[in-house]
Structure 1
């Protein structure tokens, strides 16, 4: 069957192509500015064709080996945290989707409460530091972000969209709840798992406030928190120190840090993009 391609289709393709190219303009500008000389940016502002190229911003960021150690910590926290978050969130969402589970609505209500009401930073900090004893440990960067109520409800709604007959037939054949989940339900959840996995990985990768509150050990600094400290240090030195002889790249370093932090995580999206729309739509409108 031949598909008709009319003027309306051509117009839609052109509009979306132009829109996609427009969205690349800020990203392109950030790349160019990060390789520009600080004096050129201060004198002439942000330009697509800089007067002078410079690597001072990247030299300043990478002059300390802590950046590479921070990358190791961030990658470990992101990968391991995302795996744990997917496991526990999917188990919790699946449990709430099974009608015969007692008090599943009560559990759903308890999970829903933090979406509306927050306990506050001080009680959270006391629990994490005094009760759980997580301060200055790698678990402080992982456990506080493991369960996200929004992700749990996405998973619950997705599992509710799967026919109960599939689970019941497995139980009739003698399959237990763990076997049913890991061998049947979990493999069928690739779209929503990819979606929730992307959300979780972004939360872990972009998080620097947890390090700000709970981490004092330099060996456990994440790349976002380390670059935040570098930027704060440069801003302080530029304002309170006589740096007439040396001009710190306070403007260009912002864009350099943007590229350093966004680079690895943006490479993950193309692999999960084909599942993303399907997962978010089914997980949000079903059940």
Structure 2
């Protein structure tokens, strides 16, 4: 191995120090916010946010988990995220694979069909009428899944990545008698782990953070996803606080907001380390190649 010169060691050391400080700068806000979430309301009002609070309190988390619908909302969000992500991956993947095969007729026309909604939108009212009056999905779990099932951006990312798979592999599989579905699930999918992981993160985040669909289409509290449930709790607390009718309600508004943030991002933080090694490769190849 080639030995580094003194200037090379200095440059490497400076780069490592820069990355260390950059990592600290990224992590510091999360640590500060978490410490604020377990601080007492009086501590924050008197001293602001501190890495070591003058007074600890779990009242904010107790207020969040006190809601009887919270655990149901957790289940709804998990169900919607898992089912929606799987279905969206299958549909977007099949559409992207079909458009990546050069011998498929009218693939450019199909690509334009997906491209137009990325540029032009019909508006909120027609979309709402289609979901409620034509598909009759209001107050059903599918109202939280179907509206975000197909994303043209994800379709194009997958199409561009699938186009990098050597066509000889597909031709060889077809010569051995493999059909389109066998080729797609047996060859293309195993070779496309980076883009699958990347799109999984995109779709999963979109479903997990979606609260607007519940606002428009759901009236049944048993179908509220986690994000919308916490939104409603926060809105009630803010309304009571503004009207000055807190009374005996022991809910700290400042720390409550931060506690809800950590509850909502917790599952995503646990998921990301498992797919982050594929993320950069998948997004770069999927965006550039094709």
**Within the alignment, does 1:20 sit opposite 2:23 as a pair?**
yes
Deviating above 6 A after TM superposition, structure 1's stretches of 4 or more consecutive aligned residues are: none
C-alpha spacing 1:244/1:179, structure 2 compared with 1 (3 Å)? closer
Superposition pairs for residues 1-287 of structure 1, below 5 Å? 1=1, 4=4, 6-243=9-246, 248-287=251-290
SS at match of 1:135: coil
TM-score, scaled relative to structure 2 = 0.95
Further displaced range: 2-11 or 85-94 = 2-11
Within 1, Cα distance between the matches of 2:132 and 2:32? 42
How far residue 117 of structure 1 moved from its aligned partner, in angstroms, is: 1.2
The answer to whether the 8 A contact 1:38-1:248 is kept is no
How many correspondences in the alignment? 287
How far residue 64 of structure 1 moved from its aligned partner, in angstroms, is: 2.0
Further displaced range: 102-111 or 240-249 = 240-249
SS at match of 1:72: helix
Taking only aligned residues, the RMSD between alpha carbons, in angstroms, comes to 1.4
Deviations 1:236-286 (A, max 9, x none): 000013336656311111100010001111111110011111111110000
Within 2, Cα distance between the matches of 1:176 and 1:273? 32
Deviations 1:42-91 (A, max 9, x none): 23322222222111111111112311111111111111111111111100
C-alpha spacing 1:2/1:65, structure 2 compared with 1 (3 Å)? farther
Within 1, Cα distance between the matches of 2:55 and 2:220? 38
Further displaced range: 1-10 or 79-88 = 1-10
Within 2, Cα distance between the matches of 1:69 and 1:10? 50
The answer to whether the 8 A contact 1:34-1:253 is kept is yes
Within 1, Cα distance between the matches of 2:17 and 2:44? 34
TM-score, scaled relative to structure 1 = 0.96
Query: Unaligned regions of 5+ residues in structure 1, if any?
Result: none
Within 1, Cα distance between the matches of 2:97 and 2:180? 10
